Chains A and B, each alone.
Chain A
Amino acid sequence: MISIREVVETNQMIAHENLDVRTITLGVSLLDCASSDLKETCANIRKKLLRLGGKLVETGEEISRDYGIPIVNKRISVTPAALVGASCARGPEDFVKIAETLDGAARDLGVNFLGGFSAIVSKGMTAADENLIRSIPAALASTERVCSSVNVGSTKTGIDMDAVRLMGETILEAARLTADRDSLGCAKLVVLCNAPDDNPFMAGAFHGVSEGDAVINVGVSGPGVVKHALSQIRGANFETLCETIKKTAFKITRVGQLVAQEASRRLGVPFGIVDLSLAPTPAVGDSVADILKEIGLEQPGAPGTTAALALLNDQVKKGGVMASSYVGGLSGAFIPVSEDQGMIEAVEAGALSIEKLEAMTCVCSVGLDMIAIPGDTPAATIAGIIADEAAIGMVNQKTTAVRIIPVIGKKVGDKVEFGGLLGHAPVMPVSRFDSENFIVRRGRIPAPIHSFKN
């Protein structure tokens, strides 16, 4: 029988350490919705989403009540829209219509985000891919809940630099079209390398073509729980430090596994994966930066940060892998700036630069995330930042991403408020040196030598 000490420990995590399940994400294949007529495709999409997602929010709330564990988000990911709309969308404006259909369905289902307004262009772009990418700024400006992602490279294919250049321009245009809302459109747009097919977290979630018709993926959280556990062993050696993170990650992930199994059973949809990521929120005490401080750094960004993060990321995986029957998605520690109060403070204290964040992304998931930069940053500079991150992902066989927000009308030191889970951020400086002549080259960067394993 379970002991009172164990019950108190679990409830302490929930009540005081922000333990929650960050998201139940229902992945839905829209491949069977495609038709040569735009109206028909949109109608098929809406019908399928309402049919499969009708009980998602209600079921999430029911599970939350039964186990007393908050389930913060109920979300949907869909097949990359560039594939679904390929045979009916004649131009970017048609893809905007698809985005609006997805948004309407998301609103009616009560989910706060729907991911998959996406294109996978790791090696090259089809006409549909390019039309989708060109539609992203208008689509993000005219919708509320749709998230967009573009995969521009992989270890197997190299990096499509034409797509990288286009994404630099697209991000800037998305910022301009949502300038009245602190360029919020860019907070819903992520550029990836080695994007997983089963990621439940936004903005990079999409339902990959390797997936079945529908699937339940769950993202856990719990930076506050890890931080609290580490605060009980201050000054201990690395062995104890690592063991403590591992055991805590195990406990956190078990809750995710339970919720995933239950959601799968109650919705009659197969269980896909649990994503082990430590996902912070702007709430005090729900911060990955605070864990780094607890490990012994005055601020994230201090020398030793990359090593501490590498250790944290690895132990989270080691503890989490045994706790779940299927692990997938991004699975690592997230280091967004605006969504983590401790990271915001580190930037404000001058401890953390984009260059240090880039180094940190070599050892953790996922990338340069939720970083506000000046609105007058050139598109080629943004493309250069994307290329750097994609190269880290390609060479290290890991997922990397860029979700960067050039805030129109704002300069270094200004503050930006995105609201809710997206948080707020100080505008950070970017290198003033030019990348134009690198970015204007056409074509792609070849796959790295270690990708040839056959």
Chain B
Amino acid sequence: MDKVVITVVGKDTVGIIANVCNCLAEANVNVLDIAQTTVQNFFNMMMVADFTRAVRPFDTIAADLRAVGDRMGLQIRCQREEIFDMMHRI
């Protein structure tokens, strides 16, 4: 599986998940897990998604999500899951 972690940081507002999911659905990306928390008064959301059957390249989807973030005043990042696995799992 080609797992990617999408993180959203910023002010909580209506439609964050809807907009991110729309963008992912258009690229045929399946969402596996969603979690959210507040760190230092910032809304933090994490989504784990499967890019195995994505119909667009990783870089394009990442750029589309960044654009969604720019429109909504949020920071949206796409990172392959291995960096978190390597750092936090032995």
Chain A residues with a Cβ under 8 A of chain B:
1-12, 65-69, 251, 254-255, 257-258, 322
Contact = CB atoms under 8 A, between A and B. Distances in A.
Name the residue among A7, A12, A66, A67 with the largest chain B CB count within 10 angstroms: A7
16 contacts: A2-B48, A2-B85, A2-B88, A4-B36, A6-B88, A7-B7, A8-B7, A8-B44, A10-B84, A12-B39, A65-B58, A66-B80, A67-B82, A68-B79, A254-B87, A322-B90
A2 B82 contact: no
A360 B86 CA distance: 33
Given A11-B77, A257-B86, A258-B86, A4 B58 contact: no
Contacts of A65: 58-59, 62
A258 B82 contact: yes
B83 A10 contact: yes
A66 B37 contact: no
A255 B83 CA distance: 6
Contact of B35 (A4, A11, A255): A4
Nearest to B40: A12
A6 B33 contact: no
Given A68-B77, A254-B87, A255-B87, A7 B82 contact: no
Contact of B33 (A1, A67, A257, A322): A1
Contacts of B90: 322
B78 interface: yes
Contacts of B20: none
A68 B78 contact: yes
A9 B40 CA distance: 13
A5 B37 contact: yes
A90 B70 CA distance: 61
Interface of B: 5, 7, 9, 32-33, 35-37, 39, 44, 46, 48, 58-59, 62, 77-88, 90
Which secondary structure dominates where chain A touches chain B?
Answer: helix
Contact of A6 (B58, B62, B84): B84
A258 B83 contact: yes
A4 B9 CA distance: 12
Given A4-B44, A68-B78, A255-B86, 17 more contacts: A3-B35, A4-B37, A4-B46, A6-B87, A7-B5, A7-B7, A7-B46, A7-B84, A8-B46, A10-B88, A11-B77, A65-B58, A65-B62, A67-B80, A69-B83, A254-B86, A257-B86
Contacts of A322: 90
A264 to B, nearest CB: 14
3 A-B pairs with the lowest CB-CB distances in the bound complex, closest first = A68-B79, A4-B35, A67-B83
A67 B37 contact: no
A254 B48 CA distance: 21
Contacts of B7: 7-8, 11
A12 B75 CA distance: 13
Contacts of A66: 58, 79-80
A3 B48 CA distance: 10
Nearest to B34: A4
B62 A2 contact: no
Contacts of B46: 4, 7-8
A68 B83 contact: yes
Nearest to A66: B80
Nearest to B48: A1
Nearest to B79: A68
A254 B85 CA distance: 9
A2 B81 contact: yes
Contacts of A12: 39
Nearest to A1: B33
A12 B46 CA distance: 14
Contact of B5 (A2, A69, A254, A255): A2
B49 to A, nearest CB: 12
Nearest to B35: A4
A194 to B, nearest CB: 31
A258 B87 CA distance: 9
Name the residue among B33, B62, B80, B83 with the largest chain A CB count within 10 angstroms: B83
Contacts of A69: 83
B88 A67 contact: no
Contact of B39 (A8, A68, A251, A255): A8
A397 B61 CA distance: 51
Given A2-B88, A68-B78, A8 B37 contact: yes
Nearest to A259: B83
Nearest to B83: A67
A361 to B, nearest CB: 31
B39 to A, nearest CB: 6
Contacts of B88: 2, 6, 9-10, 251
A295 to B, nearest CB: 24
A275 to B, nearest CB: 17
Nearest to A13: B87
